[in-house]
Structure 1
């Protein structure tokens, strides 16, 4: 059963990352339980769709604040695509825009107190990165066929070091899926852990009372500053993940 105490009273900064089954389900021995991870992932998707639906409804020539924000997201993504992929990347814009939006909403929803940050789990970030990685390789094979394997052998390499170069290129190519996922996971986890530690410190000073009741204003100001910083990081990490996706996609299209 779901323990409500675990949601509101966290003893450790790391307990906020605990995956809690909300609706235990098992089909043919396969665990398909609804957890806080899947719940907040679905919530992020629903919120993004709902927000875009509201923005699209009754568009105006002079945009409202919500419409301007939506157009800002669009401009950021289309600029990423054009700068890194050129005109050929416009065909992949819906895919890239979806990635940016989902990661951004998952990051921002995780900033709400007592919510859950989906992107703080390596299982989610790696699964997303691996899915993108598989898709990019499929695009590479469809575009170049068997010549796609030449991506592991740069031109002009002397014959006697070909095996070494191919091995290095192959490892560096595989590592991409780990670097893109660990970057997002590590930044979100470390940021939320620090916020929890500072918040716990503030609460402890308030509980002690006396002169600490006035001194707690110092860590409280720091906490507010960190919240602002973490919101900025939420946008930045969504941008970086999307940027790296564009770069990796361009690599398989252009065969650098």
Structure 2
């Protein structure tokens, strides 16, 4: 049986159809080989650090010499700042602007990590649930704690739908409570799932590019998917951020 399997793999290699689209998401030690431990420096560590470095260069160094006629880096930084500032104000109101630095940091980290993941030979950190779950849980805990700090026990009123018939209110309260605790799950899976799926599809098309008969079609498909992934990289950062704003609004104004 093992001989047959090996023979099938060899035959597949001969057709150029052997590819493993999920291998790009494997966490590996950055130095040497072996198992990955809690303190092991991995490819994830490297690309997380690069994301932070890029943000620092763009937002700090790029705006250190501000001018009336902005440079490219200053223009990008100001555009991102104005975009997120308006989003926070529109969704949460004036009360939410004090939390703008946190939301801005979230957006810049996610969008930077997404775009870095599109570089050849890079590693997409936002494709891993270990990263997105931490981000989503941080939002969930922050919003929940803030809700109780700002409103006390009355924060729980957001689960009680007072406009519904009295008989339905307990049922709706349970539904609202379940949906509230599902937030970090959907928040994290949406980001990681979309990023992972797009990169896997590109790798599949790249595998077919080795076959001469379908190579032109595969290259066109890769180009189209890559363009789509550029759009997805921004959209997923935007969706994660605007949902954070919506959850923040619930904490600040649970009665609305």
Whole-angstrom distance in 1 between the partners of 2:245 and 2:114: 20
Residue in structure 2 matched with residue 242 of structure 1 by the alignment? 241
SS of residue in 2 equivalent to 1:205: coil
2:96 is the counterpart of 1:89: yes
Deviation at 1:222, TM superposition (A): 2.2
Contact 2:59-2:77 at 8 Å conserved across structures: yes
Aligned residues: 234
Deviation at 1:157, TM superposition (A): 4.3
SS of residue in 2 equivalent to 1:13: coil
- Picking from 174, 183, 195, the partner of 2:190 is 183
| Structure 1 residues 24-44: Cα deviation after superposition (integer angstroms, max 9, x where no partner) | 9xxxxx732222112211111
- Picking from 24, 27, 36, the partner of 1:19 is 27
Whole-angstrom distance in 2 between the partners of 1:55 and 1:147: 44
- Picking from 165, 173, 186, the partner of 1:166 is 173
Q: Which has the higher contact order (CA 8 A, sep 6+)?
A: 2
Residue in structure 2 matched with residue 6 of structure 1 by the alignment? none
- Picking from 149, 155, 162, the partner of 2:162 is 155
TM-score w.r.t. the length of structure 2 is: 0.86
SS of residue in 2 equivalent to 1:244: helix
| Structure 1 residues 87-110: Cα deviation after superposition (integer angstroms, max 9, x where no partner) | 111101100000000001110111
TM-score w.r.t. the length of structure 1 is: 0.86
2:211 is the counterpart of 1:205: yes
1:35-46 residue pairs with structure 2 within 5 A? 35-46=42-53
- Picking from 130, 144, 147, the partner of 1:140 is 147
SS of residue in 2 equivalent to 1:51: helix
Residue in structure 2 matched with residue 4 of structure 1 by the alignment? none
2:47 is the counterpart of 1:79: no
Deviation at 1:57, TM superposition (A): 2.2
Residue in structure 2 matched with residue 61 of structure 1 by the alignment? 68
What residue ranges of structure 2 are gaps of 5+ in the alignment? Answer: 1-17
| Structure 1 residues 79-134: Cα deviation after superposition (integer angstroms, max 9, x where no partner) | 11111011111101100000000001110111111110011012211111011110
Residue in structure 2 matched with residue 5 of structure 1 by the alignment? none
Whole-angstrom distance in 1 between the partners of 2:116 and 2:99: 26
Q: RMSD between aligned alpha carbons?
A: 1.8
